[in-house]
Amino acid sequence: MSSPRSLMGAPIAAIALIVAAASHAAAPAPAAEHAAGPASAADPASALADGEVRRIDKGQGKITLRHGPIANLAMPGMTMVFKVAEPGLLDGLEEGEKIRFKADRVNGALTVTAVERATR
């Protein structure tokens, strides 16, 4: 029969093994598993919303758009006024023109940051 001293060490060793196994299971996965990025990474073109130019105010640097949903802002489709990040974004646009655009919240204001003509 084993001495009390050796029996006492057995539970401590078992606890140490359990703790070691648990910490190994919680360790982060190797970088190779994450190298491809998130499985739901969106295509950059999908970040653009569809819109129609309703009014252009170059003097104020604003554009009124009737737009579809804007995913990155969790905004449904509607008609509204946006600031533009750069006045040059308004160059060549005409009222009634179909566009694709990117909008973000810049200094608290909803702002168009990119515009491209919609393909027909």
What are the tens digits of pLDDT across the range 30-55? 444 334 334 334 555 568 999 999 99
Share of the chain above pLDDT 70, in %: 61
**Residue 11 half-sphere exposure toward CB, CA atoms < 13 A:** 4
Q: How open is the CA angle 85-86-89, to the nearest 5 degrees? A: 105
Separation CA 67–CA 49 (nearest Å): 7
Q: pTM of the entire structure?
A: 0.62
Question: In this predicted model, which residue has the larger pLDDT, 67 or 35?
Answer: 67
